[in-house]
Amino acid sequence: MGTARRDIGDLLIEAQVITLEHLTEAKEVQKSAPGDLGQIILDLGFANSKQVMQARARLMNIQFVDLATQKLDPAALAAVPEHVVRRHCVIPVFKNGNRLMVAMSDTQNIKAMDDLRVVTRGMQVVPALALPDAIIEAIERHYKGGDGDGASAATSESGLPVPPNVNTLENSIGGGLAGVKDAIESYKSRDIGDEEDPDAVAQISEQAPIIRVANTIIQQAVQVGASDIHVEPDRRHVRVRYRVDGVLHEEMTIPKYIQAPLISRFKIMAEMNIAERRVPQDGRIPVRKDGKDYDLRVSCLPTIWGEKIVCRILDKSSVLLGLNKLGFNNENLAKLEEIITQPNGMFLCTGPTGSGKTTTQYAVLHKINSVDRNIITVEDPVEYQLSGISQVHVNVKAGLTFGGALRSFLRQDPDIIMVGEMRDLETAEIAVEASLTGHLVLSTLHTNNAPSAVIRMVDMGVEPYLISATVHGVLAQRLARKICAQCGEDYQTHASDLRVLGYEPKDKDEMVTLRRGRGCEVCRHTGFKGRTGIHELMTMNDEIAELTVRRAPLADIREAAKANGMHDLRDDGLEKVMSGVTTIEEVKKVVFTAGH
């Protein structure tokens, strides 16, 4: 009787890198979004790139080479020409007689193996596995070609073989502020040309120092977990800010003379028209860093001091987040899972821009995605690509609107439809029609709280009786920063401080124990690291349905929802403060708005 074939997950468990629970969760993800198990484990954060690559090497029964510590054999390096090394992203490790060990990140690259045998005149090439970023760094350290100043820029400049139009950000290009400073000093001594001539500026933007500045800005943003990059021209300089955990931080200032080529560099990477400076433009930059894929959505806006660049950083692995990772308490999570398993009806997410509505909807799709369901989405834009789901990008210029796409969807035999946003009556009516005819519809609205969603739909022109018949649940949410796990500490305070969140002290001298962050290197001395959701989930019942049909005031619907078990945003915020997840000030900032 044969033994079961082991996979990379089994090896990671053996090495005590992951647990059986981690492997089970990764395989559940693999069922709904088929892909390499090692990459899924990496994306879920259960293991790092080195651990996964080491396990992959054991699985393939070949050697893993840690290029950070491995000394390379000069004879081996001399045996392979630089152009071959750069073309295939490989690095010779050692040579022993007719035997040459070569480190690569993809040992199935037949073309690379063939070229290595040819250039080494028939030597026995033994493949070994190494991290791609480590290979690139080793190439730059041991081969002196390229631009001559040690810059290792985007793929198109270094000639390294990665998927088309993808920039690989290596650790060697930046060094944070020091990397930018060095690149600026290197650029300063060159002829900066005519900044008004687009061709001259484009030529300068292809020079290594400018490439290093742009790549370092992106690299630093990815490393600190920023969601947005702002490159903002001013009268005398260019300011670079990162949005981390919802708050903008100034990262660096750059001399004014760098502005034109730097903006052009971003526009080239995003495939925009660099000659057009008068109108806004949009583009995207695919990026790979430490084995993870990111998408940068780039917006270019003309201002009085020059064009401003804003990049929204989308981490493609974040769509693998389960609903249990979004901050739901057990009660709300159970209600939500019941709503999204209904065969028809409508589930809405509400909240302001940047409150995590899209992330929640993708987590819901990931939860309910299966082979026996036909799921179609219409989005503007499609932010994340999900395996097994048909996603449609709105193109108003071509006549493809939310409403037009939805009409076509109903002829595609869907089970579940996601509408990126209900923006007008046409979209809302078709969505309601779809939910009435046996489809589960997911969508978002811009309202301050859950009960306001039914009022908003009535204001759009949807008949109240249709709303009461189709809407099963409405989730309002906000994102609050979490207290840093590294520097969080307990402190005592008067319970009266919690009155603003609805807490009633037992007596005037009551004290409570809460948590706060001191500030450390991990959280950039803010005391916060990461964000969690604060939720308000309203489920439809007969009383709320009747109030909706009668066009009752918002206050009445809200009271009925609370009587039906809804905990409002303030209640959920208080719960997270009491449990040490976030602070009073943070909840006040994200929950309380004018009139609330």
- State the virtual CA torsion across 220, 225, 228, 231 in degrees, nearest 10: -20
Residues in contact with 529: Cβ distance below 8 Å, sequence separation at least 6, in sequence order: 245, 481, 482, 483, 484, 485, 486, 517, 522, 523
Token representation of residue 96:
């022993």
Per-residue model confidence (pLDDT) at position 65: 92
What number is the average pLDDT over the span 289-297?
Answer: 82
pLDDT at residue 146 above 50? no
Q: Tell me what the pLDDT averaged over the chain comes to.
A: 84
Q: What is the pLDDT of residues 432-453, one digit of tens each?
A: 999 998 899 999 998 999 999 9
Assess whether pLDDT exceeds 70 at residue 318: no
Which of 47, 50, 187 is CA-nearest to residue 132?
A: 50
Residue 463: pLDDT band (50, 70, 90) is very high
**pLDDT recorded at residue 595:** 45
DSSP string over 514-543: EEEE---TTTTTSSEEEEEEEEEEEE--HH
What is the average per-residue pLDDT within 231-238?
Answer: 90
Q: For residue 311, give the H/E element and its range.
A: strand 306-315
For tokens 């939310």, the residue is 402
Measured CA to CA, the distance from residue 412 to residue 262 in angstroms comes to 45
Residue located via tokens 């800005």: 217
SS3 227: coil
Which of these, 266, 220, 258, lies nearest to 237 by C-alpha position? 258
> 152: pLDDT confidence band, cut at 50, 70 and 90?
very low
Indicate the range of 79-93, 198-212, 571-585 predicted with least confidence: 198-212
Average pLDDT over residues 354-367: 88
Tell whether the model's pLDDT for residue 177 goes beyond 70: no
Helix axes 330-340, 357-368, angle to 10 degrees: 60
pLDDT in tens, 495-545: 888 988 888 888 888 899 999 999 888 888 899 999 999 999 999 999 999
Q: What is the pLDDT of residue 63?
A: 93
pLDDT of residue 87: 84
Q: Is the pLDDT of residue 197 over 80?
A: no
> DSSP per residue over 147-158, as a string?
TSS-----HHHH
**How do residues 375-431 score in pLDDT, each as one tens digit?**
999 888 787 777 788 988 887 777 788 888 888 888 888 999 999 888 888 889 888
Alpha-carbon gap, residue 370 to 430, rounded angstroms: 25
Binned at pLDDT 50, 70 and 90, residue 186 comes out as low
Picking from 144-153, 281-290, 347-356, 385-394, which range would have the lowest pLDDT averaged per residue?
144-153
Least confident of 166-180, 396-410, 477-491, 505-519: 166-180
